[in-house]
Amino acid sequence: MSFDTQNQAFNTLLFLYEKILEISIKKISAIRIKEKVHVSVDLTKNKVKAFVWL
């Protein structure tokens, strides 16, 4: 599941519980995926070296 899809589904459930069902959610313990880091496609040798040695 992509970051955006998971984020939208999570927010939809929050809206359902809080606004429609009127159930207050005080603490949520959920594992969420992180947004991907986008890497440039025009990589030079120096850019690759800099990226690999971070």
Residue 19 lies in a domain: yes
> Looking at residue 20, what is its pLDDT?
94
- Looking at the domain assignment, is residue 51 inside a domain? no
**Could you give the 3-state DSSP secondary structure of residue 8?**
helix
The set of long-range contacts for 35-41, using a CB threshold of 8 Å and a minimum separation of 24, is 35/3, 36/3
Q: Where is pLDDT greater, at 30 or 20?
A: 20
Q: 10 Å Cβ neighbour count for 7? A: 14
Q: How much is the pTM? A: 0.52
Domain that holds residue 23: 1-34
Q: Residue 34: name the closest of 12, 11, 3 by CA.
A: 3
- Domain-embedded: residue 45: no
Four-residue CA torsion sign, 54, 30, 36, 18: negative
Span 23-30, average pLDDT:
83
> Residue 10 falls within a domain, yes or no?
yes
Q: What is the DSSP letter of 30?
A: -
Overall number of domains in the chain: 1
